[in-house]
Each structure stands twice: as C-alpha cells, then as structure tokens.
Amino acid sequence: MTFAIAMLIVADSDETVRAELDAQEKCFLLQVMEGIGDLLPEIDIGFFVGVHCCMFLTPSAVCGPPGTLRRICSKVHYLHTKAFKMMEWDVEEAAELREVSIALQQAAVSMVESLELLVQEALWYVDEECDILKDFLLADARTFIARPRLQHVLRDMWHPDYEREDIWDKVLNQMWLFVSTFCGLMVVMIPTLLYPDLERLWYRSVLQKDLDIRHIEDLKGQDVKVAGTVERPAATSDAKKQAGSEVDAGRACPHSVANFWEAVVKSLEIHLAVDFDRQVFSGECKLVVEKLQSGVRKVLLDVLDLTIHSITDAHGNLVQWEVQTPEGSRAKFGKALVVSLPQEDTSCQLCVRYETTEKSTAIQWLTREQTAGKRYPLCFTQSCAICGRSFLPCQDTPSVKATFSIHVTVPVPLVAVASGEPLGEPKEAQGLRTFAYAQKVPVMSYLIAVVVANFESRVIGRKSRCYAEPAVVEAAQQEFTDIVDVFLDTAQEVVGGADYEWGSYNVAILPSSFAYGGMENPNCTFMSASLLPGDRSLTPTLAHEIVHSWIGNLVTNAYWKDFWLNEGFTRYIERRILGKIHGAAYRGLLLMVGYNDLVKTVDMLNKQGSSGLTRLEPDIGDIDPDDAFSRIPYEKGSLFLFYLEQLVGGEESMTKYLRSYIETFRGRSIQTSEMKAHFLEFFKEVQKIEEVDWEYWLHGEGLPSFDLTAHVDRTLLEQSRSVADSWLAETPQGLEMMSMRAQQVMLVLDHLINALADGKRLSHQKLAAMDGQSYFSKTRNVEIAFRWCLLGCRSEWPGCLEATEHFLGSHGRGVYVKPLYVALKAFDGARAKAVFRRNRKFYMSLISKQDVDAKKVSLFTGQVSKQATQKMSAKQKKHLEDERRMSQRKALTRLWLDFGRAILLPRQKKYLAIVTNLAFLVALVYMEPTDFYISCWECQDFFGVAPFSRAILQAIALRYPFGHPQYWAKALAQVESFKFRFWISDSSCESSSS
C-alpha cells in the first residue's frame, strides 16, 4: 500500500520522471491508484489522512494537468465514504471530518506554504548546527519532495545495470525511506498544526480505538472474560458525556477528568508496600464515593502511569472499569479511570488494586549514594500540583477534599512518614514494618504524601518533631527547635486566632535534590536539606509552610489558576509573622527582596514570551500547572495583599479580615472571584477600597504600578543599597557584608544583578575581591549562593564556574536551578549541557524534564508584549527570537515524540515506521542534540525501527562528541543489528502487481 502511494507520489510529482516511465509502468500506477480504494480496510484513518495530504501536496495535484485535482478529489471523497464506514463513526462525526477534509482541500496551498516555512526553519537550524545533516536530508526537503534528491534516488533506481527484481528492491528501499518520512510528517504535523480538532479525532481514532489497554483481571491476575467485560464505547454522545466534554461548562477542572459534581471521593484508605528494587509502590486504594446527583452511573478518577489490576466493590465483586484518554488538552495531563457505580446506592466503596510504575512522576527514588548517610535508599512523593494521579487513583483536583489513611509497608530499618497523625505503633513482621497514618481533616489529593527513609526523629517544639537522616537530624533539630513554636504562635496571632486544626506539626528533611524549598504536607512539612545553613537565616521557609496550615491546606484554591490564593496569601502572612518577630524594618526588607524577585520573574517570563503567566489569575487551562508556576503567584499575590493592607488601614484590619476569610472558607476550595466578593463585603464600609482596580491586579500583565518603597521601612534596605552602590562605583575595602543579615546580603546581590540587567558591569577583579572579602563561593546559605552564582554567570566570570557547578550538583530546587541553567547556558552552553547531563539523575523529574520542555509554556501563552519588544536592543531581540523558535521547536518535538511513543505498539507496526521516521526527522530538525539524545534513550524502541537512526546517530556523534563513547557504540551496534524489514504485506503486494 505504502509502496503504491510512494510510487504514485513520485510518479506524479516530477515531470521528468513521468516522462521516463514507460507505458507499462504508467498503467501499473493507474491500477495502483484505482486499487487504493479496495485496499482501504488495510488503512486506518490516520494513515488515510496522511494519504489525503500527500495527494494534495503532490505538486502535480496542485498545479498538474487539467483534471488532476478534480480526479483526486473524487478519489478522496470515495476514500472518505469508505473510511467512515470502516470506522463506524456516527453521522455527526463523519460530517465533522468531512468538513475538516473540505477545509484541507481549500487549504492545500497554505499547507504547501507551511511546509515551505518548516523547511526554511529546518534549514535555519541546520545551517547553524549541523552541515552533515543538511547534506544528508534537509537540503532535499527545501522544495518539498526535492528534485535533486529525487533524481538521485531515481537514477539509482533505474540504473540500467539493475535486473528487474533488484530494481524493485532498490525502489522499495529507497522510496520507503523517503516517502515514509514525508507521509509521516504530513500524517501528524500538518493536520495537527492546522486543525486542532483533527488532533482530537486523531487521538481518538488511533489511540483510543486501536490501543486496547483495557482488560479485567481476577485477583490472581488471570484475564476475566465475563459478561461484565467493558464494551468499547461507541462514538456516540453518551461517550462524549463520559469524557466530560458536555458538562465541562460547570465546575470541571481543566487539569483533571474528575466528575466531582456528580460523584465525589469522600475518603481514601491506602495500603501500599514499597519495593526499592523495582521502584514501585503496590497495593490497594479503597475509595468511598458519594453520588451527588441521582442517576449517576460512573465516577471518573485521574490516573497516570499506574497499572490497574482490578477494581471491586465493598462485597468483593468485580466492577466494570476502563481507562480512557480524555478529550482536548486534558489528554496531556493523564488518563481517565472510568468506574461503574451501582445503580441504587448513594454511597459506595471501590477497592482499586494497582501499582505505580517507574514512570510515576509523583515518586522520587534516591539511591543510597544520593542520601546523606549513603547506607539506605530513600523515596518520597511530591504530588503538587497534578502528580498525585501517578501515585494513586484519585480525583486529582484541588476542588476535591477527602479524608484518608495510609498504611505503608517498608523494609526494616526504614521508616515511613506520611502527611497525617500516626495510627499507633508500626507493626513488624518478616523484616518488614507497616506504618499507618490518618488524616481526619479533608484534604486535596496533592497533600497525600509519604517519605520512606532511614529517618530518626527529634523533638523541636510543643507539638513538633523533626524527621531526618541520622547525619542531618541534629542539624535540623538545632535549626528549628523553639522557633517552630514561635512561628506557630505568631502565625495564629496574625490570622486573628483562627484554630490550628491539624494536631501535630512536624518537619521531614528531604535531600537537597527536592525540587521545592518546602512542601506543606499536613502534619509533616517536607523541607529541603538545602535550608539548613546552620544560622537559621532560612527559617522564613518554615514560617511559610506553617502558614499553609490555614491558607492552602484549609482554605484552598479551587483551580490552579487561583494558585495565588494559596501562595500569595501565605507569603503575605509569612512576612507579617517575621515582621512581628524581627520588627518593621525586617518586614520592609523582606518585602523588597520579594519585590526584586517579582521584577526578575516578570522579566524572565516576558523574555520567554510567556507574559500571560505574569497575571495573578492566568489562563492556564491547557498548561501543566508546574510549567506555569513561578514566583508570580507568590510575590505578585502578596504584593497585592500588601497594597490592600495600605488601603484598609494597616495590619490590624487585615488580621481581622484574615480571620473572617479563614472562618468563612475553612475546609473549602474557592476561586479568586469568591475571595474578591468576600473582601468587598468585609470592607464595604471602607471608602478607599473603591480605588482597587481588580481587573488590573488580577488580569493585568507584568509589574503592577505600585510604589512599594513608599510604604515600607527602608532602614535595612538603604543599607543594602548603599553597599551595592559602593561596589558598583569602586572596589571598597573592609565592607563587612558578612555582618549584615542574610536577607540584606541577598538584597545587595539582587541590586548588583539588576544593575547588570540595566547595562552596568562588574569587572572580574571586582567579583574576585568581593568573594575574597565575603567568601560567597563557600556560603552554606543557599539563597546567597544562588544569587552569587547567578551574578557570576551573568558577568561571564570564569571564577564562578566551580561554585556554580557545585551548586547545580547539590541543589535541585526549581527556583534556583532553572534560572541558573539559563544564565550558565548563556555564558558557556557546552558546560551547561554537561553539568545538566551529569546531574540529571539527581533532580526530581519535574526539573529533569525541563531540559526538553524548558520553554514549552511560551508556545501556548501568546507572544511577548509589543512594548517590551520595542525597548529591546537588536541583540536582545535576536536572542528573544531565537529563544522563541527554540521553545516552539521543543514543544512541537515533545508532542511528536510523545505521539510516536504512544503508537509504538505491536498492533501498529504498519504505522510504526512512519511515525518513528517522523519523530526522528522532527527531532532532528527541532531539538537540540542533547535533548534529542536524551529522548532517544527514553524511547529506545525507536532505534529498532527507524531507518534513519543510524545515519542520524552518526551525524550527531560526529558533530557533538559529548556523549559517552560507549553509549554511542552501543547505540550504533543496536542499530546495525537491526534488519530492516518491509512491512508491506504480501497480499497488498500481490494485489498491486496483479
């Protein structure tokens, strides 16, 4: 079939070739064309679309002899009809696709243009990066199925020395390579780029129809073929309803498939055993589901990379279930586990037996070498924002709150600590211990957390212990003892005495690879070992996590767009606490440090073309929240509350308001609009609040025009500024920066970093002198070290490289790692890549995937604002443009690679080669070699089937000899050993040639 199409395209696309074909061959091709319809059952819809595109993009189809286009159109129409029949689609969908295909026809010309653009882009990249590849492939693509290449191929094919049979072999070989790539390119790229709807159909038809991932097993793991086996849903409006598309308008969360307004999970009972060898948790999760509407037959749970073994009801009977790919952008975030509910009961229990997989993004596995003690492995979960679904089946949206208990079985002597109160002493048997915890306050799935490690614990306060590895536990105890009580008490004062609902407040110290500073898991804040500098200078993070006991954990953002309700409020209250303890000047200092962070973040997001993400309530429905989050919700949010504080009469009024806010919304998940309504109601007597431009603050982009400096105590601030200014002006001697507060030093460094952005420069001698006086390279304070490295990299000072590499190898928190890599890459790209490769395994997947995804967000969130562009220099503009191109490339590549991976399945062998070729080509064109290289290894299957892979590997190996030689050798050997086999079935060959 493909061969036939290949021939068709080749023959049709080049006049010289056509002229050279003899009558017999022409006749053959005609037959092939007529035969396409008969071969249709062999084609699935995706391929059919590809054929369709090929035809229209075939030059002679667009500008060939009279009648060509018409003839092909009628053929396509015929193909449509058959395809619809074959797919058993309903009329509505058939019409939908027909519309799409008509649009495709109309857009034939613009498709050619798109392709031209793509090719130009490819060449732009190739020109810069890799001449070998250019020669190899892309020069050919310039004029679509390019003539020089084609002629070369054809000259080979029709060489008079070949015997007829050899010719066919040769033809098959060459043409397959050639055409499959372009078919693949068009199958996926053009329809998806031009018609987002088609992507949906495509996913549905290919992924849903042909990937038979549903089966039901009995408790012994045997397949059960009973009457209850789930039927594949017909593509009817009923199926649409299941996937949530019709009820979306109401309360659905864009990042979750949960139908929580119909059936909501009220509690979970989780029993898991940890297996460090296989790196999985396995066991069961019992969910109590309550129906909120009559007639509800199904509950939808979020799952991702989980292996579901079985689902039973309270009586142990098997329940019908299936895993569906959600519609629209939700497909990016996971799958829907659709479970049937009994008709009569309003509340029922489901027991899901399952295990996690090594792909589960919520779970981080550390080898013993990666721990402080280096004796035992360690693992922990981090489910915020939407990774909970890869740890357990749940309604993974902050709109749903449930109580839970978790029982974790671990090998002795390891300890499991989870986000609840302990349920008695651990039970020990056969070298295993089971720890149990219960959370009686209903919480969101992202707060269900566990860490398994060789932990000891120490008392640090009235109701607090810290858990940490033996090597760290003393340091942690010293850092937090008593201060935890001071913070808890002061926090309660600032929120107007609202009750602390959780019982105990503990801290677990995670290795410094933890991607966050802290995570507010209830009863057990997880905190990075990076935050133990020994001088308590970083305890503000502890204050922050404590505040989450009220804000976030009790009053919660309903959707991730409202994240500032969690983090902005928390940051605001955290600074109020620290101001109460250390004085107004200190609060002023913290506010300014935060403001500087905000300035930097806005700048960074603008440069990335993601200015939409600088909004307080951004539109992030189709972006992974983790990609959207930055310091904006924290700093812009708290700045907004500080601004409101000025209007309503100061701290005391805000304290009364906070109490009312917490009491009103305690235990609920709310949206920004509800906060606004409550605020306006609470302060309705205060005239000044009419000044508030809510639209500007909530939905405006960039920095708000609010002069913070006019409202804060500036004593400590001025001190920092004058130190910074003196460093900019001269090389001062004996300026005692180390005697300043850590936050002041941070501010000095911030001033200097900002000065660089304004075009000022610090000489390398000056930086060396600064380090000589203040020993920044050796500081244990992670905030100072981070700024120091950033300053060094931005000044392109070689003296900072060692400290920077050390920093990147010992800290994994996103807010440090991401900007530092950007700066290091700009300074020394090769080194940045090398450092990243070396530390990749150290980072949590959240960070390590950033390499590929780094600028993904910009693709989806619009352009850089015009204003910002005008102010930029030509160099900056070029840089920005390059970054934008690169980010688009990466995002597209990701899409395609994911896609390729998704259809790498046995039943899809036919399309395998197409898609792998596609993936390779695209990866080649769009990815940076490092990313490409990594992705290849993530989906090694590609090597086995992609004819281009060897050449590509060689090309890259030659151009980028950074990879470990053994790696390349292995890769090449693997590719060599592969015997390329045509998958053209015998039958289709016969029918073609008969």
Tell me the catalytic residues. Answer: 545, 634
Which residue, 517 or 963, has its beta carbon nearer to Zn ion? 517
Q: d(Cα 848, Cα 853) in Å, to the nearest integer?
A: 9
Which residue, 360 or 630, has its beta carbon nearer to Zn ion? 630
Q: d(Cα 601, Cα 606) in Å, to the nearest integer?
A: 8
Q: d(Cα 157, Cα 17) in Å, to the nearest integer?
A: 11
Cβ of residue 520: shortest distance to Zn ion, in angstroms?
A: 6
Cβ-based burial of 791 (10 A; exposed 0-12, middle 13-18, buried ≥19): buried
Cβ neighbours of 106 (radius 10 Å): 9
567 annotated among ligand-binding-site residues: yes
Which residue, 617 or 851, has its beta carbon nearer to Zn ion? 617
Which residue, 84 or 526, has its beta carbon nearer to Zn ion? 526
Q: Looking at residue 940, what DSSP letter applies?
A: T
Cβ of residue 570: shortest distance to Zn ion, in angstroms?
A: 5
Check: CB of residue 492 under 8 Å from CB of residue 498: yes
Which residue, 48 or 514, has its beta carbon nearer to Zn ion? 514
Residue holding tokens 């898609």?
A: 915
Report which secondary-structure segment, H or E, holds 186. none
Q: Which long-range contacts (CB under 8 A, 24 or more apart) does 363-372 make?
A: 363/279, 363/281, 363/390, 363/391, 364/513, 364/514, 364/844, 364/845, 365/276, 365/279, 366/511, 366/513, 370/511, 370/513, 370/842, 371/453, 371/454, 371/469, 371/511, 372/469, 372/471, 372/472, 372/511, 372/529
Which residue, 479 or 567, has its beta carbon nearer to Zn ion? 567
Check: CB of residue 788 under 8 Å from CB of residue 797: no
Cβ of residue 447: shortest distance to Zn ion, in angstroms?
A: 12
Looking only at the bridges linking them, the beta strands covering 669-670 and 556-557 are parallel
Which residue, 635 or 928, has its beta carbon nearer to Zn ion? 635
Residue holding tokens 């989780």?
A: 270
Distances (CA, A) of 817 to 103, 488, 529, 780: 45, 30, 15, 16
Cβ of residue 633: shortest distance to Zn ion, in angstroms?
A: 9
Q: d(Cα 164, Cα 34) in Å, to the nearest integer?
A: 24
Looking only at the bridges linking them, the beta strands covering 263-275 and 402-411 are parallel
Tokens of 782: 């992670």
Q: With contacts defined by CB under 5 A, how many residues of the chain interact with Zn ion?
A: 2
Q: Which of positions 761-820 make contact with Zn ion (CB under 5 A)?
A: none
Distances (CA, A) of 681 to 48, 94, 372, 660, 699: 59, 52, 52, 11, 21
- Closest alpha carbon to 295 in 346, 243, 237: 346
Check: CB of residue 316 under 8 Å from CB of residue 391: no
Cβ of residue 549: shortest distance to Zn ion, in angstroms?
A: 11
Q: Annotate 14-52 with b (16+ C-beta within 10 A) or e (fewer).
A: beebbeebeeeeeebbeebbebbeebbeebbbbbbbbbb
Cβ of residue 646: shortest distance to Zn ion, in angstroms?
A: 24
Cβ of residue 373: shortest distance to Zn ion, in angstroms?
A: 28
548 annotated among ligand-binding-site residues: yes
Cβ of residue 519: shortest distance to Zn ion, in angstroms?
A: 8
Length of the chain: 994
Cβ of residue 446: shortest distance to Zn ion, in angstroms?
A: 12
Which residue, 570 or 744, has its beta carbon nearer to Zn ion? 570
Which residue, 355 or 567, has its beta carbon nearer to Zn ion? 567
Which residue, 568 or 812, has its beta carbon nearer to Zn ion? 568
Cβ neighbours of residue 950 under 8 Å, at least 6 residues apart?
A: 972, 975, 976
Q: d(Cα 649, Cα 654) in Å, to the nearest integer?
A: 8
- State the Rg of the chain over Cα: 31
Cβ neighbours of residue 897 under 8 Å, at least 6 residues apart?
A: 919, 922, 923, 935, 939
Which residue, 191 or 398, has its beta carbon nearer to Zn ion? 398
Q: d(Cα 914, Cα 921) in Å, to the nearest integer?
A: 11
Q: Which of positions 656-675 make contact with Zn ion (CB under 5 A)?
A: none
Q: d(Cα 555, Cα 667) in Å, to the nearest integer?
A: 6
Q: Which of positions 532-571 make contact with Zn ion (CB under 5 A)?
A: 567, 570
Q: d(Cα 540, Cα 656) in Å, to the nearest integer?
A: 23
Binding marks (x or -) toward Zn ion, 566..605, rule CB under 5 A?
-x--x-----------------------------------
Cβ of residue 548: shortest distance to Zn ion, in angstroms?
A: 6
Check: CB of residue 621 under 8 Å from CB of residue 328: no
Check: CB of residue 439 under 8 Å from CB of residue 452: no
Cβ neighbours of 716 (radius 10 Å): 24
Cβ of residue 84: shortest distance to Zn ion, in angstroms?
A: 52
246 annotated among ligand-binding-site residues: no
Q: d(Cα 682, Cα 741) in Å, to the nearest integer?
A: 38
Cα atoms found within 13 Å of the Cα of residue 88, Cβ hemisphere only: 6
Cβ of residue 829: shortest distance to Zn ion, in angstroms?
A: 33
Residues comprising the binding site? 544, 548, 567
Q: Report the binding-site residues for Zn(2+).
A: 544, 548, 567
Positions in the binding site for Zn ion (CB under 5 A)? 567, 570
